[in-house]
Structure 1
Amino acid sequence: MKPEKTRSKLFNRRAALLLGGKILLLGGLGTRLYYLQVVESERYKVLAEENRVNFRLLPPPRGFITDRNGDYLAINIQNYRLVLVPEQANNADGVEATLLKLSHLIDLSEHDVKRVLRETSRRRAFVPITVRENLSWEEVSRLGVNTPELPGVNIDVGQTRHYPYGRNMAHVIGYVAAVSEKELQNSDDPLLELPGFRIGKNGVEKEYDIALRGTAGTSQVEVNALGRVIRELRRQEGQPGHEVRLTLDMRLQDFIGERVKDEKAAAVTVMDVHTGAMLGLVSTPSYDPNAFSEGLRTEEWRDLVNNPHHPLTNKAIAGQYAPGSTYKMTVALAAMEAGISPEHSVFCPGHMELGDRRFHCWKRWGHGHMDMTEALAQSCDVWFYDVARRIGVDRIAAMAKRLGFGDPTGIDLAGERPGLIPTKAWKRATLGQPWHMGESLVIGIGQGYVLTTPLQLAVSTARMVNGGKAVRPHLAMRRIDGNTVEPRVHDPFPDLGIPKGHLNIVRRGMEAVVNGERGTARASRLRDTEMEMGGKTGTSQVRRISKAERDAGIRSGEDIAWRLRDHALFVGYAPAHDPRYVVSVVVEHGGGGSTAAAPIARDVLEEVLRIEARTVSDAGDLPDDDGSDRVKADDAKTEGTG
């Protein structure tokens, strides 16, 4: 009996232990269930709701860009794109078979096919893949007719950027393109993560990209456990981007583009001398910005980059050239400030000796006796050699800086370059060499180290003829800072402190350039005899002319290679009696400024005056930046014009 009692006690003990263990396990499980269902119920409810409902960003329509008259320069147009859902294609013929069918209906490159197959292997089967964008209406129609035989294929409608004026506005408007990895890393804007989203890469599109983007909308959709969209629950459209209105006049811009289309490389700028509003800004050769918006092919990009005339460069703000004789007004103002009289006379025999070197005038046999006004009118190099030797490079540089040379003008356009105004300290710091007197002579005629941009030439001329006001150029009619757009308020531009009498002397010389009997641009005076313009020709060398070549006779025009020819420049303003518009022209390797650049400037100023006359007749006045009255500068008038 004793063994049986022992076995019974042992069994009871084990049963009790098993029961206790089960009770503990059930208690722990119950506690856990209570914790999950009661204590953490709100948390898991939120998590479950988030798994069921997704929020998606909706890209807003990009803001339009217009000219001063409301003519559209950048708009959005419908973009038909072809998308493919892999799981629907796999359930039928397969992705590769579907792509093969598509290649018989539309132009589908081998690169497109490889890209789609690569994305098919990376993405979930129900996620649509873009096969091709920017389908023509004919291609859309062809695909629509064959849709029953193309499983998984759909036509999606989006928006793409379009530039109606293409090449004539490319350097100003710029273009949009896909977001790069670097841009994505440096921005916290979630819009940039959207597939196919495009941002401004150049020009106004880049300068005012934030304002043009707008504010994203949201879409609330219900999804299943795999992330497949079941239905859209709620949708809130975003705020379209701001419209950016420019001061440019498309009529003038088109005219300039047509006028310089035969030049291999040139730049033209037109500006209001009182407000700084840019009316025209053209650089040639140009490119088609729509190609960037639609997707540039490798061959197209290679052609643009390797083009020797640099179509991607906005020469009006980024082309840096020796100003040649267009710099002589700056030297004349510096001379008068240094105490040299406008009546200062210099005899020009066609050259000037300095040590063992001879510095030549453009007129081989010389001009004879010259004062300041005649030296400007006939562009006598020897007179300016003499003055530059007397006052030195640093005084010339100080005046040049006040007139706007050597620093960016501050125009609201990406890519502006500063040019270069040399000084003794600059050469010592940059090249580690002392300044030589001969270099001052060369600077006196706008050669040597000095570099300017066509826009700087226009700004400096405007400051000379508007009464010495430090006008600054701008493109947007309204002030735009980030996503804030406000009316532009014209505070009075600061006075440069240049005596009005000095400015009047320079203006008389510039008017004699065009209207004087011996002026270098007398052949380009305005054809309307009731109107006059002032200006200054310039010719800047791109190579040094040897003594042997001078003795044999300097070759020019077709006799030498295009890249060895001089640059042609001209700055001008009109009307002469009350300046309002200023123009600068640079024709790369165009030869003489009087023959290549001055006629272009004349034609452009005549067109500006015609547009003004038509606008005054129709509306009473030419629109200014924001409709406000322009600042008058009556004290800028000369006492009698040439």
Structure 2
Amino acid sequence: MWDVQVRHGDDYARAAAEDHVRQVVVPQVRGEILDDRGRPLVRNRTVLAVTVDHVALTRRHDGGRAVLKRLAAVLGVPAARLAELVRLCTAGVRPPCWPGSPYQPIPVARDVSTRAALQIAERPELFPGVSAEPVPVREHPNGELAAHTLGYVAPSGEGDPASGIGLAGREGLEAWYDADLRGRPGRREVVVDTTGQVVRTVSETAPGAGHDLVTSIDAKVQGVVEQALRRAIEGAREQRLPADSGAAVVMDVRDGRVVALASYPGYDPNVWAEGISSREYRELRGRLQPKAIQGQWAPGSTWKVTSAAAAVRAGYGLNRIYGCPGSFQVGARAFRNFRGIGLGSMPLSRALTASCDTIFYRFAYEMWLKDGGTKPVERPKDPMQKMAAAFGFGKRSGIDLPGEAAGRLPSRSWKRAFWKQTKAQACSTAKLAKSSYVRAIARETCRDGYKWWAGDAANFSIGQGDVLVTPLQLARAYAALANGGKLYTPRVGKAVVRADGSVVRRIKPKVAGRLPVPAHVLAYIRAALAEVPRSGTAAGAFAGFPLDRLPVAGKTGTAEAYGKKDTSWFASFAPAGKPRYAVVAVVSQGGTGAGTAAPAVREIWSGMYGLEGKKAALGDKAALGGKAALGGKTALGGRTGPGGKPAPGGASAEAAP
């Protein structure tokens, strides 16, 4: 007794007092995300929310089951659902659960009626640890629009020094610019009695509102792009093609700013507001990937712009005439044009316009031989690999979004590394496989799988084989081709601003590199691509399009995928003579580039510039002179709440078989 009362009496007294003092987080208002004209893409609204004190609930003799049962009756939801929402997320517990601190009030219902809130507030003895109060919540006023780019928020974990205990960005812009959008949570220190009821407030620190993020996304252009992509996929499905996913990118070629970034399938990010069940999450999971930056496909003939630039750099003349036979012998194998069509003799420009594969096979094979073939020289030149790398392929672009994929740029070193990883399996298959054919292939792979074969080089030249790119990478490369050679680090964020519109900082894209291609060669390639919608592989897709008003330059791509239908691509920029934007679309298992992706891009250009009876989504920017500038209320935007009031705080030879 002496030890407890005298020796450690002060310690126990202090601990007893601390048990009755509770730290309560006062949520801050998170900054809004706006498009380049100040239109809200993500905003806040105030709703009545019901929260549960996890500590107070678990201290009940029945673990709070009776309280949750009474609360479920008021809210009109199953008690089991509430029990899921208030349990803590641990290693063995999957969503729905509470991933935040157990000492933070857990929201179990938002946007409840005033009547329900009063029933809870007026009977605290029936609802101990339950509160109903107004809280700010995230809202996506445009539903699915740009969902993958915007991302979502979720409660941050306890002990997060940056965010405190509150909401944190989990994907997209919400995650990348979380430190700017988040603001500073307030804190309230209160004294509670043994039942958990607040007796008095000891101290309080007001929260600090987050900053707004102005983006380069144009909401109307984004809508046009998403609609065109969806219609293209639906059209492909009508042709009995799987068309399981797709993506599209619109980029300003002058500075690398992203104007639209679309992924299909999409989803409505408002689903996160109320929390979702495990079943709902499983159903949603397949729709969450941002295909525009994470989807990776072989690029097909859209890749030929890099191969053409590499060939010219290696000494193949721009003014020479090349034969385009139906097939070209590469080692022991004949590599064919699309459907084996021979197109006669032509200059390099026509090889791009008509998409002749065999001309590029020849370039690749002859370059491979000069490098020593299967017994390469000490320092192979590998012109096509080096040129593709200079165009930004095989590495992340550095866009201000999390989770970007790097694509794949196969090379001698890559193939050797891959062989080392898979050699043991191949050697085992060579011994154990029942099929003699499978054993023969596995035996060759086991022995020589590290070699860079002539077929590897040929496939590389037309964007097939092991080449993988993301839609963003391809748009970035075509933007560099269009602007004269500047390869930008793409940016979606444009500026961070305060609620009153004053600028905290501007976000400027940086030049990441320059294409090692002379200006006259880039101009030659651009001129060749300008003929694609007129007399080349996209002529059918652009029949009747007013190319005299908006000359579009582009390249179709039809890429084979093992065990699947072809991937459909179209990469473009316009106006061809003085490029302003690059537009790229891809549809996985969508068939030919001319059949699916090219019509989608046509629809995007029409919607952007107000052609073919459509209203110009670009508005005054469609005149090629105007732009939305930072520095005004409209462009910068001010945070608003409900009611507009300020809120608190032809013949195609695209792909080889």
Scaled by the length of structure 1, the TM-score of the pair is 0.76
Report the alpha carbon displacement of residue 365 of structure 1 after superposing the two structures with TM: 3.1
Partner residue of 1:437?
454
Query: Which residue of structure 2 aligns with residue 8 of structure 1?
Result: none
One-letter amino acid of the structure 2 residue matched with residue 410 of structure 1: G
Name the SS for the 2:248 alignment partner. Answer: strand
**Counterparts of 1:116 and 1:354, CA distance in 2:** 62
Q: CA 1:82–1:485 in 2, change beyond 3 Å: closer, same or farther?
A: same
Given the alignment, which residue of 240, 244, 247 partners 2:209?
Answer: 240
Question: Is the 2:120–2:132 contact (alpha carbons within 8 Å) kept by the matching residues of 1?
Answer: no
Q: Structure 2 CA distance, aligned partners of 1:509 and 1:117? A: 62
2:566 corresponds to: 566
Do the aligned partners of residues 258 and 519 (structure 1) sit closer, same or farther apart at CA in structure 2, a change above 3 Å counting?
closer
The residue type equivalent to 2:275 in the other structure is G
The 1-side partners of 2:208 and 2:585 are apart by 41
For structure 2, the residue ranges without an aligned partner over 5 or more in a row are 89-102, 234-243, 369-380, 421-449, 498-502, 611-615, 633-657
1:455-470 superposed matches below 5 A? 455-470=472-487
User: For 1:511, which of 530, 533, 550 is the aligned residue?
Assistant: 530
Question: Counterpart amino acid of 2:164?
Answer: L
In the TM superposition, residue 216 of structure 1 has moved relative to its aligned partner by 2.2
Is residue 2:225 matched to residue 1:256? Answer: yes
Q: Which has the higher helix share?
A: 1
Asked if 1:65 is matched to 2:26, the reply is no
Shift in Å, 1:279: 0.4
User: Retained in 2: the 8 A contact 1:521–1:598?
Assistant: no
Deviations 1:113-159 (A, max 9, x none): 6469989xxxxxxx99758312443xx43564697678434523222
Change in Cα spacing, 1:179 to 1:350, as seen in structure 2 (3 Å) is same
Percent sequence identity over matched residues? 31
Q: Tell me if the contact between 1:66 and 1:243 (Cα under 8 Å) persists in the aligned partners.
A: yes
Segment of structure 1 superposing worse, 96-105 or 272-281: 96-105
Provide the residue aligned with 1:413 in structure 2: 401
* Aligned positions of 1:362-373 closer than 5 A: 362-373=338-349
Query: Secondary structure of the equivalent of 1:524?
Result: coil
Greater mean alpha carbon deviation, residues 353-362 or residues 606-615? 606-615
Query: Structure 1 pair 411/624, CA: closer, same or farther in 2 (3 Å)?
Result: farther
Q: SS where residue 527 of structure 1 aligns?
A: coil
State whether residues 346 and 386 of structure 1, in contact with CA within 8 Å, keep that contact through their aligned partners in structure 2. Answer: no
The yes-or-no answer on 1:334 pairing with 2:310 is yes
Counterparts of 1:238 and 1:118, CA distance in 2: 27
Comparing 199-208 and 599-608, the one that deviates more: 599-608
SS at match of 1:414: coil
Q: 1:74 is matched with which residue? A: 42
Q: Is the CA contact (8 Å cut-off) linking 1:112 and 1:131 kept in structure 2?
A: no
Segment drifting more, 219-228 vs 238-247: 219-228
**Contact 1:612/1:621 (<8 A) preserved:** no
| Alignment match, 2:494 | 477
Tell me the SS of whatever aligns to 1:266: strand
Which letter maps to 2:115? S
Counterpart selection for 1:111 from 80, 91, 94: 80
**Cα distance per residue 1:287-332 (max 9 Å; x no partner):** 2222223211111111133xxxx31111111111101000001000
Q: Does 1:188 align with 2:161?
A: yes
Larger radius of gyration: 1
Stretch of structure 1 that moved more, 524-533 or 368-377: 524-533
Find the counterpart in structure 2 of residue 583 from structure 1. 583
Cα distance in structure 1, aligned partners of 2:255 and 2:148: 22
Could you tell me which runs of 5 or more consecutive residues in structure 1 were left unpaired when the two chains were aligned: 1-27, 120-126, 544-562, 628-642
Contact 2:480 2:488 in 1 (8 A): yes
Provide closer, same or farther for how the CA distance between residues 131 and 170 of structure 1 changes in structure 2, counting only shifts above 3 A.
Answer: closer
User: How many Å apart are 1:455 and its aligned residue?
Assistant: 0.4
Residue aligned with 2:579, SS: coil
Aligned residues of 1:171 and 1:283 also touching (Cα < 8 A): yes
Whether 2:185 is the aligned partner of 1:216: answer yes
2:557 matched residue in structure 1 = 538
**Of 144-153 and 233-242, the range deviating more from structure 2:** 144-153
Kindly report the root-mean-square deviation, in angstroms, between the aligned alpha carbons of the 2 structures: 3.8
Quick one: distance in 2 between partners of 1:84 and 1:419?
A: 45
Q: What is the Cα deviation at residue 81 of structure 1?
A: 2.8
Distance in structure 1 (CA, Å) of the matches to 2:200 and 2:630: 49
Q: Name the amino acid aligned to 1:202.
A: E
Distance 1:318 1:441, change over 3 A: same
Equivalent residue runs for 1:3-14 within 5 Å: none
Residue 465 of structure 1: how far off its partner (Å): 1.2
SS at match of 2:486: coil
Kindly provide the amino acid, as one letter, of the partner of residue 170 in structure 1.
A
Aligned partner of residue 526 in structure 2, secondary structure: helix
Report the counterpart of residue 304 of structure 1 in structure 2: 284
Distance, in Å, in 1 between the alignment partners of 2:39 and 2:482 is 31
How far is the alpha carbon of 1:520 from its aligned partner?
A: 3.6
Question: Against the structure 1 CA distance between its residues 303 and 223, is the aligned structure 2 distance closer, same or farther, given a 3 Å change threshold?
Answer: closer
Task: Identify which of 330, 352, 358 aligns with 2:328.
Answer: 352
> How far apart, in 1, do the equivalents of 2:525 and 2:569 lie?
18
Q: Secondary structure at 2:260's aligned position in 1?
A: strand
Q: Which has the higher contact order (CA 8 A, sep 6+)?
A: 2
Counterpart in 1 of 2:385?
Answer: 397
Aligned partner (choices 131, 151, 157) of residue 134 of structure 2: 157
One-letter amino acid of the structure 1 residue matched with residue 155 of structure 2:
A
Contact preservation (8 Å) 2:52, 2:86 = no
Displacement, 1:244?
1.0
User: What is the TM-score with the length of structure 2 in the denominator?
Assistant: 0.75
Shift of 1:426: 1.9
Q: Check conservation: 1:98, 1:151, Cα contact below 8 A.
A: no
Shift of 1:198: 2.5
- Counterpart residue type for residue 270 of structure 1: V
Q: Summarize the Cα distance change of 1:512–1:69 in structure 2 as closer, same or farther, 3 Å threshold.
A: same
Q: How far apart are 1:169 and its partner, in Å?
A: 1.6
Counterpart Cα distance in 2 of 1:150 and 1:202: 38
CA contact (8 A) 2:478 2:582 kept: yes
> Helix, strand or coil for the counterpart of 1:477?
strand
Task: Give the corresponding residue for 2:505.
Answer: 486
SS at match of 1:168: coil
State the SS of the aligned residue for 2:488. Answer: coil
